[in-house]
Amino acid sequence: MMMLALVLAFAGCVCLSLAMDRHYGQVMAGRPIPRQRHLARVGGVLLLGLSSAICIAAYGWSIGLACWFGLVALAATVLQVLLAYRPTIIPTAAICAVLLAGGGVSLSQIFN
């Protein structure tokens, strides 16, 4: 479950970074329209909230929030490195990571 929380935190950070003109320009060409910016912000907040809910459900409020802050810091660091060196693969990486983590959670539920 922690891998799913990490991937959701990464996807949330990606959404929030794509809501900014500078990072959107690095990853995509041009500037986001206001609707895209709004959807990216809302999606980022929802994904981060879902990530925090998974951590809190797994470890309780005290340890879960500490774990979540660590996961968000790790996800933001990975995103920062990708923005610096390979910005064009960020949307693909976020989508693939969410799909792989979701498949991994499904398989773990089947085999447990």
Residue 112 has pLDDT above 60, yes or no: no
Residue 73 has pLDDT above 60, yes or no: yes
Across the range 26-44, mean pLDDT stands at 89
Residue 95: what pLDDT?
85
Across the range 47-75, mean pLDDT stands at 94
59-80 burial, b at 16+ Cβ within 10 Å, e below that, comes to: beeeebeebbeebbeebbebbe
Residue 108: what pLDDT?
62
Four-residue CA torsion sign, 93, 27, 82, 53: negative
SS3 call for 2: helix
Residue 105: what pLDDT?
65
pTM: 0.88
